[in-house]
Amino acid sequence: MRVAVIGAGIVGVTTAHELAADGHEVVVYERHAAVAAETSFANAGVLAPGYVTPWAAPGMPAKVFRQMWQTHAAVRFGGWNALAQAPWLWRWWRACSREVHVRNRGTMQALARYSQQRQRALSAELSLDYEQAQGYLVLLRTAHEAALAEPGLKLLTELGVTHRLVDAAQARRIEPGLNAQTALQAAIHLPHDGVGNCRQFAHLLKVHAQRAGADFRFDHCVRRIVPGATGGGITLDFVRERHKGDTEVEPPRPFGAVVVCAGVDAVHLLAPLKLRLPIAPVYGYSVTAPLRQLEAHPDLGPRSALMDERYKVAISRLGQRIRVAGSAEIGGDIGKHSPAALRTLYRVLDDWFPGAAVLAQAQAWKGARPMLPDGPPLVGASGVPGLWLNAGHGSSGWALACGSARVLADQLAARPPAIDTSGLALARLR
């Protein structure tokens, strides 16, 4: 079948690869000049299925409200335009009930575990090297934080996730570069989880998708999706950017199926088809800098990935660079960085790895995470014949992409997916 994939972030690239591997004639349309140019560009890189969970959870509304008044808040509102997200926030609040949370958490974690299996299989089969490192450490600064983590430990046990609670001395043996001057009560160690460079993985997998026959067309912006125009197929209208500011309208092209992997932009693209997806941009930040190379301190910086539980900030090692990432900004502007959010990242980095990064060469980044109010992404049929969805992965796109892509490819081929997909269907939002 001739299939179009709209979007070449990590979700679009993995989807294109799985479809091409299944023998479909795949064409990928991306408005930028390369893959992984937006949300997939500089995320934390953490791959920890046990910690993939809906943001909509019991007690979260109260936590968000309290954090509004804190200097180093994990959740922020980006000005008055956050009011435009009021309908989304209402749906998020309703999804914070225990029953809904438990159901969505199970859906996301099943997909995350399956995605981890698929990613490891692809990495081995295709010999992919994307600056991956094994081991994930969740840092608990105080006894109070350790007590609050107990329900999470029980859940990890129930899920069968390999983990152990370690004291401060053990945590520092796992990550020798941790600052001895910063208070640390305990840590949760997940030895089988880790970190990897999402953007690098996307570029490597794109090459293999091309070898399987996928055609990537960059600088192509899809203007319109027209269903049923070619005997039950779907037609796409495009604008192609040939030079900066110079665009050209290209002839419409027919496809047997179209898969939308366009992140936040899926909302505007699908609205004319009366598919009103409640996807909102929740902005995240990261700072990436080279690791300082000192012979006297070979353990400077992290070995793999860590999470500061208090500030919900991740610190990752990607080759010879260190990345610190976090914050959840509702509203705001993609082109405007919050000084307060960046200060929190720098503060957490300095707490745990002072002097490890060459901050004079640091690069700050902000990306729009495409979040649905209840948590799980939309993977599957849209209700419009021939139109499929693989969108709304939020902050977990990197951890869910490989599994979502395989599930979507199986559904399109009318094969039973390896996991239960009822919680990923569009029907749950109606």
Phi/psi of residue 167, nearest 5 degrees: -85, 180
Can you state the percent helix, strand and coil of the chain, rounding each to 5? 35, 30, 35
Which of the four pLDDT bands, split at 50, 70 and 90, describes residue 295? Answer: low
Which SS3 state, helix, strand or coil, does residue 201 take? helix
Region 305-327 average pLDDT: 96
Cβ count within 10 A of residue 218: 16
**Strand bridging mode 25-30 / 2-6:** parallel
Helix (H, G, I), strand (E, B) or coil at 127: coil
What local confidence, expressed as pLDDT, does residue 421 receive? Answer: 97
Please state the pTM of the whole predicted model.
0.95
- For 208-266, write each residue's pLDDT tens digit: 999 999 999 999 999 999 997 545 689 988 787 665 566 777 788 899 999 999 999 99
Contacts (Cβ under 8 Å, ≥6 apart) of 186: 140, 146, 165, 166, 167, 168, 171
Note whether 285 and 338 are within 8 A (CB).
yes
The answer to whether 219 and 240 have CB atoms below 8 angstroms apart is yes
Q: pLDDT digit string (tens) for 157-167?
A: 988 899 999 99
What is the C-alpha to C-alpha distance for residues 326 and 314, in angstroms, rounded to an integer? 6
